[in-house]
Amino acid sequence: MNSALGIGMTSQRTRNRMIDRLRDKGIIDERVLAAMAIVPRHLFMDEAMAHRAYEDTALPIKHGQTISQPWVVAKMTEIVLQYQPKKILEIGTGSGYQAAILGQLVDAVFSVERIDNLTRTARRRFVKLGYRNVRTKTGDGFDGWANEAPYDLIIGTAAAEKIPESLLSQLKPSGVMLLPVGDSNSQNLIKVTKTFDGYESEILDAVMFVPFLQGTIRK
C-alpha cells in the first residue's frame, strides 16, 4: 500500500536510516534533517521505484527527468536556509520533492515546471499530503511566476547555460538566486545576489543536474 506511513523499504525506520547517512555525509542543519525525516520521498515517485526511495541516489521519474538525490536536496536546502527566505520561487518542480522539503521550512514555495504532466502529478501530491503552502504551475521557468513576485530567493533545480538575468526582476532587493550553471560536462552551483544596479555572482560548488530546456510541454 502506498501510504505516507509506508512499510518495509518505505517505512519511517528506513527513512531515518537515510537521515543517518545524510548526517554521515556532512549535512548538519537539524531543520533540514527533520524536514527530510517527515516528507515521504517514496510518494514522490512511481510505485515501482518506491522501494529505492531512501537510497541516496537520484531516481528516474516520468518524461526522462529525475528526482534529485537526497544529499543534493539536503545540501541545496541547507544553503537556502542561510538566507532565511520566507517566499521562494523554484524552477523545475519535477517530482515536487525539493519543493515539499522547502515547504516544511519556509512560509511559501512557488514552483514552475515546463512539463505539464509533471506539474499535475506534483500538485496532486501536495494536495494529498496537505502541503498547502507549496504551489506549482506549468510554464517556462525563465519567465518565473510574475504574479506572485517578488521572492526572497529563487532556486533552480536544473542547469542553466548562463545566469538567467530575466529572473532578477522577480527578486526582492538583495535577494538571492541559487542555481547550477554550465553544460553536461561541467556545472557549478552559483549564488547570484541582486544588487541595486545589477547582480554579483559567486561559485559555490561543482555539481551535476539535468539541463534547463526552453518552452513548455502540454500533453
Site membership for ligand SAH, residue 157 (CB under 6 A): yes
Site membership for ligand SAH, residue 65 (CB under 6 A): yes
Site membership for ligand SAH, residue 66 (CB under 6 A): yes
Site membership for ligand SAH, residue 163 (CB under 6 A): no
Among residues 10, 98, 104, 121, the one that binds ligand SAH under rule CB under 6 A: 98
Among residues 49, 149, 208, 210, the one that binds ligand SAH under rule CB under 6 A: 210
Q: How many CB atoms lie within 10 A of CB 28?
A: 10
Cell 525506520 belongs to residue: 13
Question: What's the min distance (Å) between Cβ of 211 and ligand SAH?
Answer: 7
53 or 176: CB nearest ligand SAH: 53
Residue 166 annotated to the active site? no
Site string for ligand SAH, 16-35 (x = CB under 6 A): --------------------
Q: Can you name the residues that pair with 190 across neighbouring β-strands?
A: 179, 203
Q: DSSP for the chain?
A: ---SS--GGGSHHHHHHHHHHHHHTT---HHHHHHHHHS-GGGGS-GGGGGGTTSSS-EE-STT-EEPPHHHHHHHHHHHHTT--SEEEEE--TTSHHHHHHHTTSSEEEEEESBHHHHHHHHHHHHHHT-TTEEEEES-GGG--GGG--EEEEEESSBBSS--GGGGGGEEEEEEEEEEEE-SS-EEEEEEEEETTEEEEEEEEEE--PBP-SS-B--
69 or 196: CB nearest ligand SAH: 69
Among residues 142, 172, 193, 204, the one that binds ligand SAH under rule CB under 6 A: 142
Choice among 3, 11, 68, 201 that is catalytic: 68
105 or 210: CB nearest ligand SAH: 210
Q: Which stretch binds ligand SAH (CB under 6 A): 15-23, 35-43, 81-89, 136-144?
A: 136-144
* Site residues, ligand SAH (CB under 6 A): 65-68, 91-92, 94-95, 97-98, 112-115, 118, 140-142, 157-158, 210, 212-213
